[in-house]
Amino acid sequence: MATAPSRPGAAEAPAPAPPRTGEDILRRVRAIVPELQARSAEIERERRLPMDVVELLRGTGVFRMGFAHEWGGPELSSIEQTEIIEAISYGDPAAGWCAMIGSDTGLYAAFLDEPVAKEMFPSLDLITAGLLFPTGHAEIVPGGYRLSGRWQFGSGVTHADWVISGAFIYRDGAPEPGPDGDPHDSKLMMVPREDVEVIDTWYTTGLAGSGSCDYTITDVFVPAERTLTFDTVRNGEGPLAQPEVHMRNMPGVPLGIARAALDHVRELVTARKKGDDYRTQVTVADCEADLVASRHGVYGAMRRQHELLAAGGTLDDLTPEERAALPLSRRHAFRTARSIVTRLYDLLQTSSIYQPSPMDRWLRDTHTMCQHVVAQDRILQSAGAYLLDAKPQFPLCLGITAAKPAGAVRPAS
DSSP string, 133-173: SEEEEEEEETTEEEEEEEEEEETTTTT-SEEEEEEEEEETT
pLDDT band at 362 (very low <50, low <70, confident <90, very high): very high
Q: Give the tens place of pLDDT for each residue, 303-316.
A: 999 999 999 999 99
| The predicted structure's pLDDT at residue 212 | 97
What average pLDDT does range 184-197 have in this prediction? 97
Does the pLDDT value for residue 322 go beyond 60? yes
| The predicted structure's pLDDT at residue 12 | 58
| The predicted structure's pLDDT at residue 407 | 36
pLDDT band at 10 (very low <50, low <70, confident <90, very high): very low
Length of the chain in terms of residues written: 413
| The predicted structure's pLDDT at residue 16 | 77
| The predicted structure's pLDDT at residue 7 | 42
pTM: 0.93
What average pLDDT does range 47-71 have in this prediction? 97
Please state, in angstroms and as integers, the Cα–Cα distance from residue 285 to each residue in 3, 279, 280, 288, following that order.
56, 10, 8, 5
Q: Give the tens place of pLDDT for each residue, 204-220.
A: 999 999 999 999 999 99
| The predicted structure's pLDDT at residue 281 | 97
pLDDT band at 406 (very low <50, low <70, confident <90, very high): very low
Cβ contact 405:134 at 8 Å: yes
Distance (Å, rounded) from C-alpha 145 to C-alpha 199?
A: 23
| The predicted structure's pLDDT at residue 6 | 43
Does the pLDDT value for residue 262 go beyond 90? yes
What are residue 167's DSSP bridge partners?
Answer: 136, 187
Q: Are strands 227-228 and 186-192 parallel, antiparallel or unpaired?
A: antiparallel
Contacts with 287 (C-beta within 8 Å, 6 or more apart), sequence order: 258, 262, 340, 343, 344
Q: 186: burial class by Cβ within 10 Å (0-12, 13-18, 19+)?
A: buried
